[in-house]
Structure 1
């Protein structure tokens, strides 16, 4: 079971397993099947199907590992690129929450200056988060059916965790500045990595013309609601990867300036001036 045949067989087994589970749940929710009958159907059909799917999955993973694929590529191949991306997105959210709770930054350490970019940008997302909490409480009170109410509560809590994971990801994945490396990020996505010596000038300057990420006038804008507040003028053009939800849809562009929203533009500009003074640039 290698290649296209294994892929089709695996997909068919997963689809049948999901379809049977959904039909079983719907029949039980509508009262057509009793709880005992639904459990019996689940035991008689779902468990064997799950075993078949598990065996095929293991065989495919072993085959792909023998071909030399990395685990990320295997995940893409086994469950599909979209599903794999969503799983990685959710795992990153949980990791970001863990970092946030422990007050840590991804990639931070000795000699690394984290450059935050969330100040003044979290008002609308936090308002949306609060609205979701209120909506969850209202739905839980108004929906009279216990099973549906419980399902909606579980989905609502899961959704709130995802939103909080996105917000935590921006806080815990700042830009990173060291003596030898500048890393510009948007959440977990790396936009560009370059040597700080490639920055000719760092100027704290407010630009209002763009409030969403874009490339214009040979510059990349990573703004907040009030635009950008720091210009990094480069000594030569660099290629950047623009942020997007799906990694495969991220486009590239060559730019000569990075216009960023950061928490403390004066401190970042002063750090660049100090480094340039030390190197005699």
Structure 2
């Protein structure tokens, strides 16, 4: 994957959020035609709804308070509506961009800002492991949903991951969340037995 600048990455992220809202409203999913989809957004639905409700209340309150100053009111209204759109977009992206497993790779995603393809022949082990605390360590990637990960993936060699603003990282251990971790772990193990033999150099 080629690195791109922070400004372009931010623009692409915003576009993915908008596309995700359209997909969510149409009850469609992105990138699932070639494989089996596994959701991860179930655990964050209620918190996201609550956060969105707070944002809407704040928008209404600020509109009332700033009514005597129309220019400021309009500016704040635009920012508040943008915040609401971000919340809706994040949840929509989480629903419409699930993990995808096919016969060659596992595509691990989190909303609109993480999309990492892991070749099956690089997976050394996969296990169900529920964690609610994560320490930042070199070579490890934690993709928690609601502060929790449920699957741990260990690789035979590092793969390249780019952070939100484009900083490259080599990761060899990935923890992520799935709504049905046991089902996904079992499916990965079954696919690994069908995948080509591990790479040798």
Measured against the shorter chain, the TM-score band is 0.7 to 0.9
Contact 2:52 2:87 (8 Å CA) reproduced: yes
Aligned equivalent of 1:272: 188
Alignment match of 2:120 (pick from 175, 192, 196): 196
User: Displacement of 1:191 after TM fit?
Assistant: 4.9
| Residue 232 (str. 1) matches residue 153 (str. 2) | yes
* 2:108 alignment partner in structure 1: 184
C-alpha distance in 2, partners of 1:85/1:98? 20
Counterpart mapping for 1:227-266 below 5 A: 227-234=148-155, 236-244=156-164, 246-247=165-166, 250-255=167-172, 257-266=173-182
Deviations 1:241-260 (A, max 9, x none): 1532x23xx231231x3221
Q: Deviations over 1:123-167 (max 9, x none)?
A: 444322211100111222333327334443344223311332233
TM value normalised by structure 2: 0.79
In terms of fraction of residues, the more strand-rich structure is: 2
Aligned partners of 2:101 and 2:188 also within 8 Å? no
SS of residue paired to 1:104: coil
- Higher share in helix: 1
**How many pairs were matched up?**
193
**Deviation by residue 1:226-267 (Cα, 9 ceiling, x = unmatched):** 432112233x122231532x23xx231231x32211111011
Q: 1:98 aligns with which of 7, 11, 22?
A: 22
Q: Is the 8 A contact 1:191 1:240 kept in 2?
A: no
Query: Is there any run of 5+ residues in structure 1 with no aligned partner, and where?
Result: 1-72
Q: 1:277 to 1:144 in 2, by over 3 A?
A: closer
Secondary structure in 2 aligned to 1:131? helix
The structure having more radius of gyration, on CA atoms, is 1
Q: Is the 8 A contact 2:161 2:171 kept in 1?
A: no
Alpha-carbon displacement from aligned partner over 1:189-228 (angstroms, at most 9, x marks no partner): 4553232232233211212331x8x445x53222233432
Match of 2:94 among 129, 149, 170: 170
> Given the superposition, is the C-alpha separation of residues 209 and 135 from structure 1 closer, same or farther in structure 2, using an over 3 Å criterion?
closer
Aligned-residue CA RMSD (Å):
2.8
